[in-house]
Structure 1
Amino acid sequence: MPSPIPVTRLLPKDLYPSLELGTFSSPLTKPLDGSSLQVPVQRFHSRAASRLWSSVIHWQELRSVQPVGSGGFGAVYKAEYFGEIVALKRVKKCTKNQLASRQSFWAELNAAHLRHTNIVRVIAATTGVPKSVGDESSIGTILMEFVHGRNLQQIIYDTAEPLGADRWLRYGTDVVRGLRFLHAHDVVHLDIKPANVLVSSEDVCKIADFGCSLKLDRGCEVNTIGPHLSHVGGTYTHRPPEMLKGEGVSPKADIFSFGITLWQLATREQPYTGDRQHVLYAVVAHNLRPSVEKHAVFRSEIGRQCRTLLNRCWSADRRCRPSAQELTSQLEQLQQLGTGERD
């Protein structure tokens, strides 16, 4: 299946001279000899090595592969690669929906060419696997930076450690900084939630898991979701009403999901209870949103301003939601206000 991502959108033209050809690579171009797939791949000594991902995995350099976890579309391992600790993700074929699993693999690469502190870095990706390490159920393999820490889901619900306003505001600011960068490059994540935000050992949030993401057409504020894009969806508790209704996708979908995530950080509760179908219907038909009235955290000055911000983030009208740029400024101001209150 050809990649929906043209190679020219992944590799800047001015860097092509520093590239060489390798095998077992992502099918971004037609095979050169009809027997194997080959595309440009960076040299490790290249000036651009810190900016580009590679379309070749040097399997002989993988060491100490250990399972970390598994999910709907694959499994994640911890490994050593050229002396660096990495995360290895194998995307598996979904027997019920093979198209969705293939699209999920390619979607993981929508942000592969981007580098930002608050986004998990892709190191290499390939669809080819040597027989010695092959897995017939695998569509492709992705190597990413290994984030030594936990995710926000674990911090919110699985620990008793304090999560004061200064901390959850800082986490929220990290996430919107990552979103601001993604949206500036026409990438929407479409599955922002605590489980998809990793927290490093330095306590920095990094957006992960781009399996539901889309690359938007440049200059187009809203993209239509075609029936061929079966991987688009995200988690129902964080999905905006326009996507529940099957309407177009825009960066404002991520803003809605972020609003739910920020509420979870502030309250440490689940956003909804009850039957899934009831929640889906109520979000669209009755403007159901997580409660901000009963929580003491929203009664302070910072809390009241945050409540106003949340109401804008999860507005039914996406045009009323703030941009990631605006959110970043407002959360940074709230952080400063919190510092002033402590002083």
Structure 2
Amino acid sequence: MPSPIPVTRLLPKDIFPSLDMGICSSPLTKHSHSSTLQVPVRRFHGATTSRLWSSVINWKELRSVQPVGSGGFGSVYRAAYFGETVALKKVKKCTKNKLASRQSFWAELNAAHLRHRNIVRVIAATTCVPEDFGDESSIGTVLMEFVGRENLQQIIYGSAAPLEEDRWLRYSEDIAHGLRFLHSHNVVHLDIKPANILVSSEDVCKIADFGCSLKLDHGCEASPISPYLSHVGGTYTHRAPELLRGEGVSPKADIYSFGITMWQLISREQPYTGERQHVLYAVVAHNLRPSLHINSVFQSKLGQRCKTLVERCWSRDVSCRPTAHELLPHLEQLRSQV
């Protein structure tokens, strides 16, 4: 389950003893006594931001806060922080399921200690908000790098411009690179979909929105769903069938979601039509998947090879799905043929 992150996961052993520590209480604990999250406190300057994140936000340094978007998770704003453009995310407090909203906030930090080109970087996060910035409906604030306003969902469905083969294959590679890095650090995202893939001004894909993520036990291929988890979230159209059945969580669940996402990049169609419950039942009971005959692109030589790869990714049999590490050479080979 999303949980307080030991400082030893944030820093090399030769660095963290010399740092001043900040403490932020975590609402996620199996026990009655309080739990704390200890992270290094550093200002947002230069090289330190490439390695560390902070449990303290210097609110006086926030400037020009402008709304970008909102949804069930909360609201996102664009702001200036120490002179650099950042994204400020307020995680919404769910009145119907308070535990789920707390888990969502702390899950956002499961990859906070990681730095990678294809993952949105966390700068700081806190549950302690001054009155000037306060919001009774918010449970916490996460400060992140500002990637841009565009995501893959908008590129796939909101643009009339063609999506060339080299471009969607490059996007697929970016996502797979990000997943390989996450999985190598035992983090599973559990909500990979076009809307959660941001696209930078350099046309680079970055995985965002870790509110459904989990940190697996070290060296554990699959972990059972904890009874303390009020949700194993994700979007039903992209959720792996083993998760729908309540089985163990593994990195292969992200590979399934990647397969659906890659299909969307290729076809530019919606995965399913029909009511949610009917789709869920058909995915689990009848192996329903998006149609591979809906678009002529799957009929080309390249399309046939992509079809084979996508089918492996969304296989009912978890063991038949490739790992993110195994996925990348296939994508690189496909791109070399364009």
TM range (shorter): over 0.9
Identify the residue that residue 330 of structure 2 maps to in structure 1: 330
Counterpart secondary structure, 2:287: coil
Equivalent-residue separation in structure 1 for 2:44 and 2:209 (angstroms): 25
Compute the displacement of 1:334 (Å): 0.4
Compute the displacement of 1:133 (Å): 2.2
Identify the residue that residue 168 of structure 2 maps to in structure 1: 168
Q: Which moved more, 1:230-239 or 1:39-48?
A: 39-48
Please, what TM-score do these two structures have when normalized by structure 1?
0.92
Compute the displacement of 1:12 (Å): 3.5
Compute the displacement of 1:269 (Å): 0.3
Contact kept, 8 Å, 1:76 with 1:89, in 2: the verdict is: yes
Compute the displacement of 1:41 (Å): 1.0
Compute the displacement of 1:228 (Å): 1.6
Cα deviation 1:235-257 (Å, max 9, x = unaligned): 00000100000000000000000
Compute the displacement of 1:216 (Å): 0.5
Identify the residue that residue 7 of structure 1 maps to in structure 2: 7
Compute the displacement of 1:49 (Å): 3.7
Identify the residue that residue 24 of structure 2 maps to in structure 1: 26
Equivalent-residue separation in structure 1 for 2:18 and 2:64 (angstroms): 31
Contact kept, 8 Å, 1:193 with 1:257, in 2: the verdict is: yes
Identify the residue that residue 309 of structure 2 maps to in structure 1: 309
Identify the residue that residue 16 of structure 2 maps to in structure 1: 16
Structure 1 residue ranges, 4+ long, deviating more than 3 angstroms after superposition: 36-40, 43-49
Identify the residue that residue 103 of structure 2 maps to in structure 1: 103
Q: Which amino acid aligns with 2:24?
A: S
Please, what TM-score do these two structures have when normalized by structure 2?
0.93
Equivalent pairs counted in the alignment come to: 330
Compute the displacement of 1:273 (Å): 0.4
Equivalent-residue separation in structure 1 for 2:148 and 2:201 (angstroms): 5
Compute the displacement of 1:55 (Å): 1.1
Cα RMSD between the aligned structures?
A: 2.0
Contact kept, 8 Å, 2:7 with 2:38, in 1: the verdict is: no
Gaps (5+ residues) in structure 1? 339-343
Identify the residue that residue 285 of structure 1 maps to in structure 2: 285
Equivalent-residue separation in structure 2 for 1:93 and 1:145 (angstroms): 23
Contact kept, 8 Å, 2:6 with 2:38, in 1: the verdict is: no
Identify the residue that residue 31 of structure 2 maps to in structure 1: none
Contact kept, 8 Å, 2:6 with 2:37, in 1: the verdict is: no
Distance 1:133 1:180, change over 3 A: same
Equivalent-residue separation in structure 2 for 1:101 and 1:11 (angstroms): 28
Residue 226 (1) aligns with residue 221 (2): no
Q: Mapping of 1:1-343 within 5 angstroms?
A: 3-22=3-22, 26-27=24-25, 40-44=40-44, 48-338=48-338
Compute the displacement of 1:89 (Å): 0.3
Counterpart secondary structure, 2:68: strand
Equivalent-residue separation in structure 1 for 2:282 and 2:128 (angstroms): 45
- Indicate the percent of aligned positions where both proteins have the same amino acid: 74
Compute the displacement of 1:193 (Å): 0.2
Distance 1:335 1:37, change over 3 A: closer
Equivalent-residue separation in structure 2 for 1:149 and 1:280 (angstroms): 31
Distance 1:286 1:43, change over 3 A: same
Equivalent-residue separation in structure 2 for 1:262 and 1:39 (angstroms): 36
Counterpart secondary structure, 1:42: coil
Equivalent-residue separation in structure 2 for 1:81 and 1:308 (angstroms): 46
Counterpart secondary structure, 1:305: helix
Equivalent-residue separation in structure 2 for 1:4 and 1:75 (angstroms): 23
Counterpart secondary structure, 1:169: helix
Contact kept, 8 Å, 1:101 with 1:231, in 2: the verdict is: no
